[in-house]
Structure 1
């Protein structure tokens, strides 16, 4: 399997079909493939070879689509950058991956000088925006215009396709190594269920394209022969407008975004504004179950659409279970994560990796050709996560007699806020660097808008005064904004076990009931 196969099939069968819609730019399959082959040639002339990493820091666009294809076209490795990260986090990922070429759009080009200073081996910055060309950067469009197309290397199989950095349980981001086979397997398996995309339809990219979830939807769309419709980032107004203007059929969102859609639409309806939502056929959502209230409101707003929940993680490329549209009609299943997709095998095991009886809580593990190759430069973490040939998700859950998986806890002490994963240790490490902090603990608390919010309990050093806003500002310099605690308490002490371990469950129980 190789990622670019879908390009050749599309060019052979439907060269005049619209491939991408991004604002006023509309490109056919033939035009898109030609640009991809030319940009691949430009990267090769810049010294990018097989296995070399090329990063992209930018909002959703047709140029992101071209990048995701052009890099593997010449055998390179994509390295999408989380746009919500701080400069320090971005620099770490570029240094760790030894990335020498970075694409940056208008929204983030002001970060380029600082990244050059922090990443000495960053030799080339390519500007993918429409604004003025910054000093020291190369023009993306000039590179395409000035370079002849090169043949596709058709790199595939177990060759490394991409590095996708996630937060780490040690507080250090980890580069998840995903192969061509991993991503294409996941896409084919998800598409085969019939729950994810409309053949020949139109996929809206409103979730961030750097995220593995949207890259999965992009892959599914490529396999289904879809047209990709991009908006720079999610807002309810922009998403609804794009759905109506371009007759979008399919999209992937997190429940928080779906709630924002229905809230926005309700406000418009109250003011006499109608939203044309009749083209929508598939909503794929993930990160957490959807509430019954939001589901019913969404079904009313999108009467022709079906809703399916995907469960997985970056390490699983990322889909491993699906809760089908018909499953949503059974109230007892609405809190489930679904059943194994065709390309995956799923179990729930105990500490000895022995499968537990149905209904018993253990760790959710998975295997199949969608499971990552491992973590970049972290062989011990890779061995631990992939022991016995199974990906250990770190999620606690159980499986019922029909094979439905229910997630009940996160062993990795992870918070999911607005669809983004936040590891508590990352936030705790940032807080601990403030000179006034003696101890701290970070937990997730229920939140009506974000699902969970990041909450910190901080014990100041004896005799030292510190303001909560000062601590928040300190964190913003070190970690991404969505990881910064939305709420915080100052305390005299933290609850400890007999072994001196912070009892986070006690904190959660106490604060959830406040």
Structure 2
């Protein structure tokens, strides 16, 4: 089922239903369909054909959504790029895609105008006077119906770029089948409903953002686009638009429920909230439950490559749990010490730690990275996708993720996963954030080193060491042997912690705490 067909079904089914809102601008499904046709017609006039790549550097806004559906209509490939990437990474993505055209706004102008292109694409600026043509000119020249373009389920719909903690971004090609199956799985797993309404906070360059848009479209729901990271605007939109479901990162939920005016907002329309992208602390789970009072509260565990690995149906009952496989999935565990080319050693044994692997025979699964055969070979073996995450299965058959396999610390012959230690340190009232890494040591091989962002002054290594010694869930051999107080945790453009920077000394140390 191709994506544009799903959009056209929605526009025919409820043409007068609100589809897209940004501030005071509102589009019904019929109005949105009209503008999509105008832009799609102009794209065809500019020579955009099936399978061409269209790179988009826009925030979450009406034009971004219109461009998404217009690109789908002409059978091209939509590739949204994170505006927080460096100019060097942007240039890499442009040339890697061999983009036919680039659509950008003022915020991304500096990332586009001085690029060295292998083959120069057509530049479309959102504002007048930027690029070769403006978005307004696309609308003016789109005066006829789009020439029909056959689209197959296995044709590419999008290419999303993952921003790993090392190396260049990797393009993840996703077919119409992938995106359709992933969106339908999301609707079923998280109990979304017809005519739901959601906030479009996560960028469409991320699988979370794209999923929010597609699920709302399939259900004739309303997607409220929010271009900027502003918790004041988020909260106002929650109240004004009667939001019924949310799919956000833990940091976004934190900013919402910690807002000083949150108690003034009526959240009674909200029935489902889902988080992904990072673990959520027990404290934040409890606060979200108390403030938002959702009927359903889910943890989604997946990736850009395979949308769903597992999901936990109620994190209030099992904090930290990522649950059972999604409706299209099968998972297993592989003992970390075994070679990846011997999958007969997969061990879904309760309580034992292993690398989480996911079967590739899924409608949600990609088939390999764009122009990266070596990365594909490393990630996919014998029909399984290697997540790089370590976890275990409990007595109920539910999965828990305890960290990255590559981040495992080997100290005195014992395996230590940073997340186990970080969760304990985060419970200390004077700790704002904690990141644990292994530091080379002549005697032990590695020692556990904790980088701490303090909540307030007065925190000392001695206080933390005493706290860890007394904690019931932290064995002594996992206790940090060194503490470093820092101003903030280094992260990449997607918010992932850069442990490598901490190991290499790329941080600002606090001289006093």
TM-score range, shorter chain: 0.7 to 0.9
1:322 to 307, 311, 326: 311
Q: Which residues in structure 2 correspond to 1:75-474 (within 5 Å)?
A: 75-115=75-115, 118-129=116-127, 133-147=128-142, 148-153=144-149, 155-168=151-164, 171-193=167-189, 195=190, 197-264=192-259, 267-268=260-261, 274-316=264-306, 318-324=307-313, 327-330=314-317, 333-350=318-335, 351=338, 352-353=342-343, 354-356=345-347, 357-367=349-359, 368-413=362-407, 445=451
Contact 2:124 2:131 in 1 (8 A): no
TM-score, structure 1 as length reference: 0.76
Contact 1:169 1:412 in 2 (8 A): no
- Runs of at least 4 residues of structure 1 off by over 3 A? 412-417, 443-449, 479-492
TM-superposed CA distance for 1:446, in Å, is: 6.5
Contact 1:41 1:150 in 2 (8 A): yes
Contact 2:90 2:111 in 1 (8 A): no
- The one-character-per-residue Cα deviations of 1:57-86 (angstroms, maximum 9, x if unpaired) are 111012111122211211111111011111
Contact 2:356 2:386 in 1 (8 A): yes
Contact 1:84 1:482 in 2 (8 A): no
Q: Structure 1 residues 393, 484: CA separation in 2 closer, same or farther (over 3 Å shift)?
A: closer
Report the 3-state secondary structure (helix = DSSP H, G, I; strand = E; otherwise coil) of the residue aligned with 1:78: strand
Q: Structure 1 residues 278, 383: CA separation in 2 closer, same or farther (over 3 Å shift)?
A: same
Name the counterpart of 2:477: none
TM-superposed CA distance for 1:483, in Å, is: 7.0
TM-score, structure 2 as length reference: 0.77
- The one-character-per-residue Cα deviations of 1:433-488 (angstroms, maximum 9, x if unpaired) are xxxxxxxxxx9957689xxxxxxxxxxxxxxxxxxxxxx9xx99xx7595797997
Point out the more displaced range, 31-40 or 306-315: 31-40
TM-superposed CA distance for 1:215, in Å, is: 0.7
TM-superposed CA distance for 1:491, in Å, is: 8.4
Contact 1:205 1:231 in 2 (8 A): yes
Contact 2:286 2:316 in 1 (8 A): no
TM-superposed CA distance for 1:381, in Å, is: 1.9
TM-superposed CA distance for 1:144, in Å, is: 2.0
1: distance between equivalents of 2:309 and 2:254?
A: 24
Contact 2:19 2:217 in 1 (8 A): no
Contact 1:207 1:234 in 2 (8 A): no
TM-superposed CA distance for 1:197, in Å, is: 2.5
Structure 2: 5+ residue stretches without partners: 409-417, 423-435, 437-448, 456-487
Contact 1:321 1:338 in 2 (8 A): yes
TM-superposed CA distance for 1:90, in Å, is: 0.6
Contact 2:196 2:244 in 1 (8 A): yes
TM-superposed CA distance for 1:153, in Å, is: 2.6
- The one-character-per-residue Cα deviations of 1:162-194 (angstroms, maximum 9, x if unpaired) are 11111347512211111111111111112112x
Q: Structure 1 residues 33, 447: CA separation in 2 closer, same or farther (over 3 Å shift)?
A: farther
2: distance between equivalents of 1:283 and 1:361?
A: 29
1: distance between equivalents of 2:60 and 2:372?
A: 30
Q: Which residues in structure 2 correspond to 1:63-78 (within 5 Å)?
A: 63-78=63-78
2: distance between equivalents of 1:197 and 1:489?
A: 40
Report the 3-state secondary structure (helix = DSSP H, G, I; strand = E; otherwise coil) of the residue aligned with 1:162: strand
- The one-character-per-residue Cα deviations of 1:478-503 (angstroms, maximum 9, x if unpaired) are x75957979977989x9xxxxxxxxx
Report the 3-state secondary structure (helix = DSSP H, G, I; strand = E; otherwise coil) of the residue aligned with 1:200: coil
- The one-character-per-residue Cα deviations of 1:129-181 (angstroms, maximum 9, x if unpaired) are 4xxx1344311122122122304535231111111111347512211111111
TM-superposed CA distance for 1:3, in Å, is: 1.2
TM-superposed CA distance for 1:9, in Å, is: 1.3
Tell me the number of residue pairs that the alignment of Structure 1 and Structure 2 aligns.
429
Q: Structure 1 residues 447, 276: CA separation in 2 closer, same or farther (over 3 Å shift)?
A: farther
TM-superposed CA distance for 1:48, in Å, is: 1.4
Name the counterpart of 1:430: none
Contact 1:59 1:233 in 2 (8 A): yes
